[in-house]
């Protein structure tokens, strides 16, 4: 994750909140219902862990989240929530009899980069550690949503406020999902204009608060040529050679940029060729470009297009007519297709959402750094709707690999944090947080 600093470096996510807000959080924590909810997290560790294991054993790679969505829907309905799966595939739940909002949304994404091939791929070691694809990212977030759904009926203090809790398990957060579930929720579902703020759960731990949305662009680059035999057709354009030049030229161009604002690029997939003695007829790569600066991102995107164009020119300049053929039919072409665009945005330092989280962290003794990353919060932040992303508690590592793991030590602290933040947001009248109806869907995409 990329980190950014607040305008006043003396303040941190665990800095001292204002006195009134600190007293509010302290008072909430002592209310009977919320105190019972906090105790439930410690008392029912086994219940949470069992749900965590069950959901992670249901494969949910991006674009194939339906089975897990149906399981989540059944779980939430069993806990007394009105629940449906929307047209995008998101699981959306609210308390029975809830009105038309406004809502405070608690969300966690359903999809994973890798998926278990068998239920046994998700296993628990004797010390309680979960191992397997998606157990941390985002099994921990989804388990937390279920724990909050279970605790909510115990806490009347959360039901008599100015807003209503909305639980969302959304699709399309990872990879080429391009935040499709959150895009639909915010822009097309009809709920977007009624959601006052978003608390996004993504992964484990309590050590970070993502308040700046990291913008990114993703591209699919394809080079095409006639192909042929490596000896008898030598001299025709080679798509793999052109792709190699593109990567080298773009890497050199990016290295010339200053280190700030922070940016990155990654050619994460390369394909091409059928055999060692065949000239490829096609070569393909997928590249991810990210930056804290929208201007830098656009510059990098333009540089990528220029590198592709120049690589085609260089390869075609080297063409020699193959035996029995002509140079005219030996040329290569290229196509650059955008396959993902994540908008940027930033939560204001004086946002009620951010200040509430700081106050809760101070009460619980949590010290968290403020960072910049790409999460589901990108979409609401780009639309001017307050949102931030935090971990759900516990410990984890190896995200997006087959050796991913999660340990529940510290999970209760993360759940207490989420509960208190939600309770404060639901009880607040939130006038300063609600987006204007006319501007709710105006963004920076």
Residues 130, 55: one domain?
A: yes
Asked whether residue 368 is assigned to any structural domain, the reply reads yes
* 423: its two tokens: 């309770």
Give residue 328's pLDDT.
59
Distance CA 112, CA 351 (A): 31
Asked whether residue 407 is assigned to any structural domain, the reply reads yes
Cβ-contact 122, 135 below 8 angstroms: yes
Give residue 226's pLDDT.
94
Dihedral (C-alpha) 354, 357, 362, 365: value to the nearest 10 degrees?
-130
Asked whether residue 444 is assigned to any structural domain, the reply reads no
Cβ-contact 187, 441 below 8 angstroms: yes
pLDDT in tens, 242-289: 999 999 999 999 998 888 899 999 999 999 999 999 999 999 999 999
Residues 109, 205: one domain?
A: yes
* Last-in-domain residue among 319, 342, 365: 342
Asked whether residue 445 is assigned to any structural domain, the reply reads no
Residues 337, 279: one domain?
A: yes
Residues 146, 244: one domain?
A: no
Per-residue model confidence as pLDDT tens for the chain (445 residues):
333 333 333 344 444 557 889 999 999 999 999 999 999 999 999 999 999 999 999 999 999 999 999 999 999 999 999 999 999 999 999 999 887 889 999 999 999 999 999 999 999 999 999 999 999 999 999 999 999 999 999 999 998 888 999 999 999 999 999 999 999 999 999 899 999 999 999 999 999 999 999 999 999 999 999 999 999 999 899 999 999 999 999 999 999 888 889 999 999 999 999 999 999 999 999 999 999 998 999 999 999 999 999 999 999 998 876 555 555 578 999 999 999 999 999 999 899 999 999 999 999 999 999 999 999 999 999 999 999 999 999 999 999 999 999 999 999 999 999 999 999 999 875 534 544 333 332 233 3
pLDDT in tens, 149-177: 999 999 999 988 889 999 999 999 999 99
pTM for the predicted model, two decimal places: 0.87
Asked whether residue 277 is assigned to any structural domain, the reply reads yes
CATH of the domain at 375: 3.40.630.10
CATH of the domain at 292: 3.30.70.360
Distance CA 415, CA 361 (A): 12
* Burial letters 135-149, b for 16+ CB under 10 A, else e: bbbbbbbbbbbbbbb
Give residue 327's pLDDT.
58
Residues 348, 337: one domain?
A: no
Of 166, 160, 162, 158, which is closest to residue 192 (Cα–Cα)? 166
Burial class (CB in 10 A: 0-12, 13-18, 19+), 231: exposed
What SS3 class is residue 143? helix
Residues 73, 147: one domain?
A: yes
Q: β-strands 333-342, 215-224: how paired?
A: antiparallel
CA 366 and chain centroid, separation: 23
Angle value at C-alpha 82, between 77 and 86, nearest 5 degrees: 100
Distance CA 368, CA 217 (A): 28
* Last-in-domain residue among 342, 374, 400: 342
Give residue 259's pLDDT.
85
Q: Report the domain count for the chain.
A: 2
Give residue 433's pLDDT.
53
- DSSP structure class, residue 18: P
Cβ-contact 368, 206 below 8 angstroms: yes
Residues 354, 330: one domain?
A: no
Cβ-contact 159, 387 below 8 angstroms: no
Residues 82, 176: one domain?
A: yes
Give residue 368's pLDDT.
96
Residues 381, 317: one domain?
A: no
Q: Which domain holds residue 129?
A: 2-214+344-439
Residues 315, 390: one domain?
A: no
Residues 146, 159: one domain?
A: yes
């Amino acid at each position: 994750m990329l980190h950014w600093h607040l305008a006043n470096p003396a303040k941190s996510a665990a800095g001292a909140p204002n006195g009134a807000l600190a007293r509010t959080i302290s008072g909430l924590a002592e209310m009977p219902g919320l105190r019972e909810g906090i105790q439930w997290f410690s008392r029912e560790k086994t219940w949470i862990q069992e749900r965590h294991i069950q959901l992670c054993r249901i494969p949910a790679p991006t674009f194939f989240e339906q089975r897990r969505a149906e399981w989540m829907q059944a779980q939430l309905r069993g806990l007394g929530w009105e629940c449906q799966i929307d047209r995008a595939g998101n699981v959306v739940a609210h308390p029975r009899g809830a009105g038309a909002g406004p809502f405070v949304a608690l969300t966690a994404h359903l999809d994973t980069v890798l998926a278990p091939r068998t239920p046994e791929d998700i296993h628990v070691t004797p010390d309680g550690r979960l191992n397997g694809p998606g157990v941390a990212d985002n099994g921990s977030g989804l388990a937390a949503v279920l724990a909050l759904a279970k605790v909510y009926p115990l806490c009347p203090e959360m039901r008599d406020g100015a807003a209503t809790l909305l639980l969302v398990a959304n699709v399309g957060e990872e990879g080429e999902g391009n935040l499709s579930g959150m895009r639909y929720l915010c822009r097309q579902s009809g709920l977007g204009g009624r959601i006052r703020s978003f608390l996004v759960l993504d992964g484990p731990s309590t050590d970070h608060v993502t308040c700046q949305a990291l913008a990114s662009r993703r591209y699919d680059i394809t080079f095409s040529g006639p192909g042929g035999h490596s000896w008898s057709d030598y001299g025709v354009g080679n798509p793999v050679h052109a792709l190699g030049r593109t990567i080298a030229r773009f890497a050199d161009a990016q290295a010339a940029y200053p280190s700030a604002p922070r940016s990155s690029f990654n050619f994460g997939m390369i394909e091409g060729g059928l055999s060692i003695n065949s000239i490829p007829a096609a070569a393909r790569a997928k590249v991810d470009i990210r930056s804290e600066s929208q201007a830098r991102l656009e510059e990098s995107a333009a540089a990528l297009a220029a590198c592709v164009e120049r690589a085609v020119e260089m390869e075609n300049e080297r063409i020699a007519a193959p035996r029995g053929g002509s140079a005219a039919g030996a040329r290569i072409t290229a196509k650059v297709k955008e396959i993902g665009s994540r908008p940027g945005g930033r939560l204001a330092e004086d946002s009620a959402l951010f200040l509430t989280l700081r106050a809760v962290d101070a009460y619980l003794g949590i010290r968290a750094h403020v960072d910049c990353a790409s999460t589901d919060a990108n979409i609401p932040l780009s639309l001017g709707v307050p949102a931030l992303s935090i971990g759900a508690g516990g410990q984890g590592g190896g995200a997006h690999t087959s050796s991913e793991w999660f340990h529940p030590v510290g999970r209760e602290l993360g759940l207490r944090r989420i509960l208190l933040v939600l309770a404060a947001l639901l009880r607040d009248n939130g006038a300063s947080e609600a987006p204007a109806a006319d501007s709710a869907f105006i963004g920076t995409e």
